[in-house]
């Protein structure tokens, strides 16, 4: 399948593996890229730019296909060494970067001078237009269904994607709620040039996370996520558990007076304990509503192959049948 995204990034299938904390390691990124998609390492999972350089080299040993790096710009009193991470990306020969969080404009000239294509993750049309205006090559449009941070507008992809298609000139992919061939074909129908999957790739054999995490996603339905940190305007969609329900109770009790320190026990330092140790009830961790569509834990190659085969059948048979007047 050829789209503006496959052409831009030099990949076979219009499927991107989103950046995920303590998940976007070489094992998963290489598996996605080897299967014809675009795998992404997560820069801030690595404790330093030097560690990122080593992870890039490790991934390059596992695949000769294009892969990229996610670099999320977070508000922080003591920010990470962003210039160092950018340098590691460029010196590592990476040609695709997914940026997220704050505006990446400061780092675009260095990246693009090195021939790096930048796709910025956005949760609204206005942010996507801003990314386009500052020179991003593409955007990932993240609907309200997504795991992680959906923004504060609460617009689902059935509205957000067509709106993005109306406004944007650069290519974009659909993110949030993406799981299978139906997701891909629907995204293309609404104007996107591909899709970005996070939670679905968590539940694969190559995902370098504890088996408890995969089983928790497998057991979850579309009703098992919660929105936390809304009063702080840092909304995150997470899988429910006892810690999450405790956090939500604090939000109800404290109301507008809540501060981050009040919920720190449920959110700070959680990811290593969940993803590495398998303690899925220790705190709040990102998961999309798409968990309700995840019914197995396949190999990445099997998953992507199935998506592309089923997408072809939907387009050539089901949709063509409707156009031809057949039921």
Q: What is the CATH number of the domain that holds 198?
A: 3.20.20.70
Specify burial of residue 322 (Cβ count, 10 A radius: 0-12, 13-18, 19+).
Answer: exposed
Answer for the pair 227, 47: CB distance below 8 angstroms, yes or no. Answer: no
pLDDT at 1 over 90: yes
* Phi (first) and psi of residue 268, to 5 degrees: -80, 130
Domain count, the chain: 1
Residue 159 within any structural domain of the chain: yes
Residue that has been written with the tokens 């995150």 in this structure: 236
Band of pLDDT at residue 105, cut at 50, 70 and 90: very high
Q: What is the pLDDT of residue 326?
A: 80
Report CA-CA distances (Å) from 55 to 52, 92, 94.
5, 10, 12
pLDDT at 327 over 80: no
Residue 189 within any structural domain of the chain: yes
Q: Could you give the CA distance from residue 82 to residue 211 in angstroms, rounded to a whole number?
A: 32
Residue 297 within any structural domain of the chain: no
Query: How many angstroms from the chain centroid is the CA of residue 188?
Result: 18
DSSP, collapsed to helix, strand or coil, labels residue 28 as helix
Residue 216 within any structural domain of the chain: no
pTM, two decimal places: 0.96
Residue 191 within any structural domain of the chain: yes
Residue 41 within any structural domain of the chain: yes
Residue 69 within any structural domain of the chain: yes
Residue 241 within any structural domain of the chain: no
Range(s) of the domain holding residue 65? 4-204
Strand ranges for the chain from DSSP E: 15-17, 39-42, 67-73, 96-101, 117-122, 138-142, 172-175, 195-197, 225-228, 236-239
Task: Tell me the pLDDT tens digit for each residue of 115-172.
Answer: 999 999 999 999 999 999 999 999 999 999 999 999 999 999 999 999 999 999 999 9
Report CA-CA distances (Å) from 27 to 30, 40, 178, 190, 205.
6, 10, 21, 32, 10
Task: Tell me the pLDDT tens digit for each residue of 241-280.
Answer: 999 999 999 999 999 999 999 999 999 999 999 999 999 9
Q: What does the pLDDT average to over 224-237?
A: 96
């Amino acid at each position: 399948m050829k789209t503006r995204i496959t052409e831009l990034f030099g990949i076979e299938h219009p499927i991107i593996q989103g950046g995920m904390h303590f998940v976007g390691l070489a094992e998963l990124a290489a598996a996605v890229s080897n299967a014809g998609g675009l795998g992404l390492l997560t820069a801030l999972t690595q404790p330093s730019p030097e560690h990122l350089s080593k992870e890039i080299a490790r991934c390059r040993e596992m695949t000769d296909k294009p892969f990229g790096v996610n670099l999320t710009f977070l508000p922080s009193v003591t920010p990470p060494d962003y210039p160092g991470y950018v340098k590691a990306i460029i010196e590592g020969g990476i040609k695709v970067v997914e940026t997220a969080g704050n505006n990446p404009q400061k780092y675009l000239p260095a990246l693009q001078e090195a021939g790096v294509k930048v796709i910025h993750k956005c949760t609204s049309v206005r942010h996507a237009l801003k990314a386009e205006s500052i020179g991003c090559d593409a955007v990932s449009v993240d609907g309200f269904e997504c795991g992680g941070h959906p923004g504060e507008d609460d617009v689902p992809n059935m509205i957000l994607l067509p709106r993005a298609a109306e406004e944007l000139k650069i290519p974009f992919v659909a993110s949030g709620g993406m799981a299978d061939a139906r997701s891909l074909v629907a995204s293309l129908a609404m104007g996107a040039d591909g899709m970005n999957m996070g939670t679905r790739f968590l539940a694969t054999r190559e995902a370098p996370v504890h088996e408890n995490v995969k089983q928790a996603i497998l057991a979850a339905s579309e009703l098992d996520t919660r929105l936390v940190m809304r009063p702080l305007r840092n909304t995150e969609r997470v899988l429910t558990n006892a810690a999450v329900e405790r956090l939500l109770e604090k939000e109800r009790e404290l109301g507008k007076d809540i501060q981050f320190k009040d919920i720190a026990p449920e959110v700070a330092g959680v990811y290593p304990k969940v993803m590495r140790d398998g303690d899925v009830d220790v705190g709040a961790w990102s998961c999309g509503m798409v968990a309700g569509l995840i019914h197995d834990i396949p190999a990445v190659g099997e998953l992507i192959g199935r998506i592309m085969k089923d997408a072809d059948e939907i387009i050539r048979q089901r949709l063509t049948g409707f156009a031809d007047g057949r039921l």
